Structure 1
Amino acid sequence: MNKPLTTPTPTPSSSLFARRTLIAALAATPLLPALAQFRVEVSGVGLTQLPIALVPFRGQDAAPQKISDIIQADLERSGQFRGVDASGQAIDDASRPDWSVWRQRTADSLVGGSITRLADGRFDVKFRLWDVVKGQELGFQNYTVPQGDLRLVAHRIADFVYEKLTGEKGIFSTRIAYVTKGGARYALWVADADGENAQAALASSEPIISPRWSADGQQLAYVSFESRKPVVYVHNVSSGQRRKVADFKGSNSAPAWSPDGGSLAVTLSRDGGSQLFTIPAAGGEPRRLTQSASIDTEPVYSADGGTIYFVSDRGGAPQIYKMGASGGNPARVTFSGSYNISPAISGDGRWLAYISRVGGAFKLQVMELATGNVASITDTSADESPSFAPNSKLIVYATHLQGREALMTTTLDGKIKARLAGQAGDIREPDWGPFRKQ
C-alpha cells in the first residue's frame, strides 16, 4: 500500500491531501443495502470485564429484532462486559429474580425485558436492570416505537446499562459514516455504531472520500470528485440537501469541523502549495493558517477548539504537528517512526490515534498526550482512518483482514476488537459521529 506525500495535486487513489486513500477497488457489485450490512465478531479478553446476564426478552422470538442479542453484542464490543450464560431461564421486566441462580452463574448484573406488538403496529419494549451482588433493581425503562426504531431502542438500552454500571456514557446509539465502492460506483453510508441499519447518503460514479461529522450530528462534510477534482461539500444528513463549501482552484480536501460547527479547517492548493485554511461552514473566503513551503494537510481540532493537529513533511517526512486554532508556530508531536499520518484526537483530550509506517506496514498507534507514550495496538498491516467514539473509549478504523477491507473497533489498549465485516463488499474511511440527542 503506497501513501506518498509528494504529489503536488491529489488524485483519488494516491492522495494524502485529499485524505483517506482509496486502497483497492472492490469486486464489481451493484450498490445495494447489503453492502452495508455487518457481522460483529468480538475477539480478545480484557483485563477487567463485568459479568452480565442478558435473558432473552419475552416475546422477542416473534419480533423483527432480537433485542437482548443486540444489547449483549453492544456491551461485549465495548470491552467492559462479559456475557454470562442465561440459558434455561425465563425472566422479564415484571419478574423478581432468584438471586441465588444468578450468583451461582457468577453474574454481577442482570437484564430482563419484554417486547409486545401493539394494535397500531408499534412495539412496546420494557426492561429492568438488576444488581445481582446487592440484590436490588438499578433501573426500569419503557419505549413505544415503530418497527424501524427497534434497533435504536436496543442500542439505547445498552447505553443505559453501560452508564449505570460503568459511570461512563454509552455510545451504542451513535452513528458512523463510511464509504464503499462497488464496481464503478461509490457510496457514502450512515449506519448505527455496530454497522447495521445503514442508509446511503450519497451515491456517485466518482470517488467520495474524507467524511466528517459535525459536532451536532446533523451534517457531514466530505470530498467529492464529481467535478473531476476534489471539492468539499457539506451534507445535511436528515434532508439530504448539500452545498459546496470549498471549490477553489486546485485541490480542496481534508475537511475538519470546528467544535462549534461554525467553520471547517481544510487543505487548499489554490496558492500553489497544499496549506491549511479555515473557511465558514456556510461557505465564503478562506483564511490561511499555515505559511510554509511544505505540505500541510489532514487537520483535526482538539475537543476544546483551541488546537489544530495536522500532518506536515516540513521535517523531511510526514509527521504530526500541532498549533493554535488561529495559526502560529507549529510544534512537532510525533517522534517515533519516520512516517506518521491521519491524526485523531479523543474527546477527552487524552489520546492521539494515528497511522504509522512500521517496516513497510501501516499500523494504528495510540499516544497518551500527557506522557508521549506510544502503543501499537493492532497486528494488521494496512490500517487507516482512525476515529474515536464520542466517549473516548473505542476507536473505529479501516484495515485489511483476511484479504479484504474491513472496519474494526478496538479498545484503547487493543485488548478487545470487533470486526464489522461487510457481507457483500469492502468498506473504508469510517468516521464516528457524536452522541445523539434523545
Structure 2
Amino acid sequence: MPRRRALGLVSSLPLLSMPFGAAHAQFRVEVAGVGLTQFPFSAVSFRGNDVASENIAAIVRADLERSGQFRFVEPMTGGLDETSRPDLGPWRDRGADSLLTGSVMRLADGRFDVRFRLWDVVRAQDLGGLSYPVPGTDLRLAAHRIADYIYEKLTGEKGVFSTRIAYVTKGGARYNLWVADADGFNARAALTSPEPIISPSWAPGGAQLAYVSFEARKPVIYAHDVATGRRRLLANFKGSNSAPTWSPDGRTLVATLSLSGNAQIYAMDANGGDPRRLTQSGSIDTEPVFSADGKSIFFVSDRGGSPQIYRMPASGGSPQRLTFNGNYNISPAPSPDGRWLAFISRINGAFRLHVMDLASGTVSALTDSSADESPSFSPNSRMIIYATRDKGSEALMTTTVDGRIKTRLAGSQGDIREPEWGPFLR
C-alpha cells in the first residue's frame, strides 16, 4: 500500500537512503513509449568539451528525449561550433529538423563559458544562441538551460529541465530530504534526521520547502530555505501537524491539523499566526492542495465512507465530490495550467496513477503498475513525477499526461519516495 502525504489514513512504509551530502548514486534514465508527435533533432559534440567534466550535448539530448516530444538523429562527423554556418542540406537529408552546435571554453577565473547555437534545418534559419559562463559545478545546469531554450523555441512552451525535484529516502536510522535536478542528478541532502521526514512541498519560486519532521516525537511542520539550509517552525500545534501545501502566491499554507481531535484542514499565514479551520466534519479531511488559480482547495476525505477527493472554495465552505470510480482515491495533484488533476486510485488492490480532465470529469489510467504514489506535475503541466515499485525496487518515474512516454529515474541503490516537482525558479 502506498504511503500518504498526511497521517491518519495510511501508515508509512520503509525507505532506503543514500549518505548525507552529495548523492553518490546517479540516476539512470530509461525512456519507454512513442509519442504521437516528435521533433527530429540532432546535436554535435561541443567543441572543447574535453576540458569539462560533463558532456553538454549528451545532457541536452537526454533532457529532450525524456520529454517525449523529441527524437534524436545521429549527427554527422565534422567539427562545428556556435560560430559555424553549417551546410544544412545534408542534415535535412538525414531527417533532422533542428541542429544544435556549441563550444566549451575554460576561462581565466576557472569558470567555463558554454556557448551554443540552434539551427532550423528545414527553413535554413538561425534560431539564436546564448553564452552561459558557469562554474564547473553548474555545467549540468547550463546544459539544462540549453535544453529549455530548444524546447521553448520548437514547441512554444517553457521547458522544465532546469527546474528541481525534492524527494525523501530512508536507510537504517537516517532519513534524508533531497533536492536534485529535474533529471535526478546533482542530488544534495537538504536535511538529514534520525526521525521521519514526510510531505515535502515547494513554495512558489522554488526558494523554500515545507515538510513534516518527527524530531519532536510528533509531526511538526517546518519551512526550509533551500539555498542556506536555515529553517523556521510553521506549525507545532496540539496533536498532529501534517500535509502542508503553499498557496500560489506563497502567502498562505494549508495543512492537516488535529486541533479539534480529528484531522481537519486549516489555513495558516506563511509568516505565522493562528490557524483558521476550513473544514467542519467529523471525518478525516486531509491532503489539501490549492488549485492553480488559488480559488479552490482539493482534499481527501472519508466522509462518504471511503477516501475520496473533494474540492471546496479556498475560504472553506461546501465541498464537491470529484471521484466516484472505486472506493479509494487519494493524493490529489492539480496541474499548474488548471486543466488536469492527477491522483492515485486503488483498482482491484492495485494503486495506480490516474488523471482527470477537470472540465469534463473524464478519468484515464496512466499506468498498469500496482504501487504508485505521490504524483506531482511539472511546472509546464506536460509531465507527472511519481513514486512506484518497478522491477522489484522503489523508483521515481515520470510520465507524459497521456501516459505514452514513461521515464524511470532509478538510483543504483535505495528506495525513493514522495517526489515533488519544483516550480519555475524566480
Same fold (TM over 0.5): yes
- Tell me the matched-pair count: 426
Q: 2:49 aligned with 1:49, yes or no?
A: no
Q: Distance in 1 between matches of 2:40 and 2:390?
A: 29
Q: 2:112 aligned with 1:123, yes or no?
A: yes
Segments of structure 2 that go 5 or more residues without pairing to the other structure are none
Residue among 289, 295, 298 paired with 2:278: 289
| Cα drift, residue 24 of structure 1 | 2.5
Residue 399 of structure 2 contacts residue 405 of structure 2 at CA under 8 Å; is this kept in 1? yes
Amino acid at match of 2:374: S
Q: Distance in 2 between matches of 1:81 and 1:164?
A: 13
Which residue of structure 2 aligns with residue 84 of structure 1? 73
Q: 2:321 aligned with 1:332, yes or no?
A: yes
Residue 393 of structure 1 contacts residue 412 of structure 1 at CA under 8 Å; is this kept in 2? yes
Amino acid at match of 2:139: L
Which residue of structure 1 aligns with residue 351 of structure 2? 362
Q: What's the Cα RMSD here? A: 1.6
Which residue of structure 2 aligns with residue 186 of structure 1? 175
Secondary structure, in 3 states, of the residue corresponding to 1:212?
Answer: strand
Amino acid at match of 1:22: S
Q: Distance in 1 between matches of 2:9 and 2:390?
A: 21
Secondary structure, in 3 states, of the residue corresponding to 1:216?
Answer: coil
Q: 2:313 aligned with 1:343, yes or no?
A: no
| Cα drift, residue 87 of structure 1 | 4.5
For each residue in 1:358-392, what CA deviation from the matched residue of structure 2 results, as whole angstroms up to 9, or x when unmatched? 11110000111011111111121100000000000
Residue 115 of structure 1 contacts residue 124 of structure 1 at CA under 8 Å; is this kept in 2? yes
The within-5 A match list for 1:36-435 is: 37-435=26-424
Residue 343 of structure 2 contacts residue 375 of structure 2 at CA under 8 Å; is this kept in 1? yes
Residue among 1, 7, 11 paired with 1:17: 7
For each residue in 1:6-44, what CA deviation from the matched residue of structure 2 results, as whole angstroms up to 9, or x when unmatched? xxxxxxxx77437896323338x6445335521111111
Residue 190 of structure 1 contacts residue 201 of structure 1 at CA under 8 Å; is this kept in 2? yes
Question: TM-score w.r.t. structure 2 length?
Answer: 0.97
Residue 385 of structure 2 contacts residue 420 of structure 2 at CA under 8 Å; is this kept in 1? yes
Q: 2:16 aligned with 1:26, yes or no?
A: yes
Q: Distance in 2 between matches of 1:19 and 1:434?
A: 28
Higher alpha-carbon deviation: 81-90 or 38-47: 81-90
| Cα drift, residue 351 of structure 1 | 0.1
| Cα drift, residue 432 of structure 1 | 0.7
Q: Distance in 2 between matches of 1:88 and 1:312?
A: 60
Segments of structure 1 that go 5 or more residues without pairing to the other structure are 4-13
Amino acid at match of 2:53: P
Amino acid at match of 2:363: V
Higher alpha-carbon deviation: 310-319 or 119-128: 119-128
Higher alpha-carbon deviation: 415-424 or 341-350: 415-424
Residue 275 of structure 1 contacts residue 291 of structure 1 at CA under 8 Å; is this kept in 2? yes
Q: Distance in 2 between matches of 1:20 and 1:151?
A: 38
Higher alpha-carbon deviation: 155-164 or 243-252: 243-252
